[in-house]
Chain A
């Protein structure tokens, strides 16, 4: 699978999706002007990945902040990874938040209540 390697801008995150190297990460700020335009290629990549996954997947979210329109594509990614996890592939979500930003931590905890995949929490 061809890797995705997007450099973040002021309102879009850095995205690295590289199955060969086992790196899956969304980091920075996410409040694009057009959420669909930004996230559709990422969700398509995830669709292809879950059809041919690695034995183990550690997916990292490391966000400064994200807007309400980013919640749904994030949930979509997590639901797909949750299914992968339920099908016997080891999936872990590494949810990073800035030390003291309890809102971002809570957002991770709330996602974890919806999907069937283990989360770990760390500060940056």
Chain B
């Protein structure tokens, strides 16, 4: 651990920095999401030195997964503050051995938690073949430009992930909860 050499009042920040280093955090952002920000984040992540060394397939999976998750916040995320139209959320990307771990979080109305949890549990139990046929089924039956994006999006992400999702919900207040999702994407040759 680094020895503090002065300015101890700022020690808390230095601890955060060291924790980010130890956890091999490649990118993080917390704030309000919109499409322009999604574009910028995709550009930044694609130019990370770790990603530049990866195969086309790894880069493609990373990009698709980030776009899907962040557009999901833009479209379906909700602010826990009354009347706010902002889409607050957090994205954290880290590398652990040969895989990339993407953690995504946002708030949503608590009454939607049950259905979302049920859907994730259903997708989590599926094999690759199950996911493939479920994707086709949802694609064929959904309406053009209907509100199907979240369903198809989650299946898409599940197909690119190395294994099922880890997730959690935590109540923020009477109406809203925080939803977090962890996705693992394999690095080269995995």
Contact = CB atoms under 8 A, between A and B. Distances in A.
Interface of A: 10-11, 31, 33, 35-36, 39-40, 43, 64-65, 67-69, 71-73, 75-76, 98-104, 110, 113-114
A75 B35 contact: no
Contact of A103 (B39, B136, B160): B160
Contacts of B149: 68-69
B74 to A, nearest CB: 8
Contacts of A31: 67, 71
A105 to B, nearest CB: 10
A102 to B, nearest CB: 6
- What 6 A-B pairs are tightest by C-beta distance, nearest first? A100-B56, A33-B35, A68-B152, A36-B145, A68-B153, A10-B39
A39 B145 CA distance: 9
B63 A11 contact: no
Interface of B: 35, 38-39, 43, 55-57, 60-61, 63-64, 67-68, 71, 74, 132, 135-136, 139-140, 142-145, 148-149, 152-153, 155-156, 159-160
B144 A71 contact: no
A76 B144 CA distance: 8
Given A31-B67, A67-B68, A73-B145, 16 more contacts: A31-B71, A39-B145, A40-B145, A43-B144, A65-B63, A67-B153, A68-B68, A71-B139, A72-B139, A72-B148, A76-B144, A100-B55, A103-B57, A103-B159, A103-B160, A113-B136
Nearest to A110: B136
A102 B55 CA distance: 11
- Kindly name the residue among B64, B145, B153 whose own CB sees the greatest number of chain A CB atoms within 10 A: B145
B94 to A, nearest CB: 22
B39 A11 contact: yes
Contacts of B159: 103
B57 A102 contact: yes
Contacts of B155: 68
A74 B139 CA distance: 11
Contact of B71 (A10, A40, A67, A100): A67
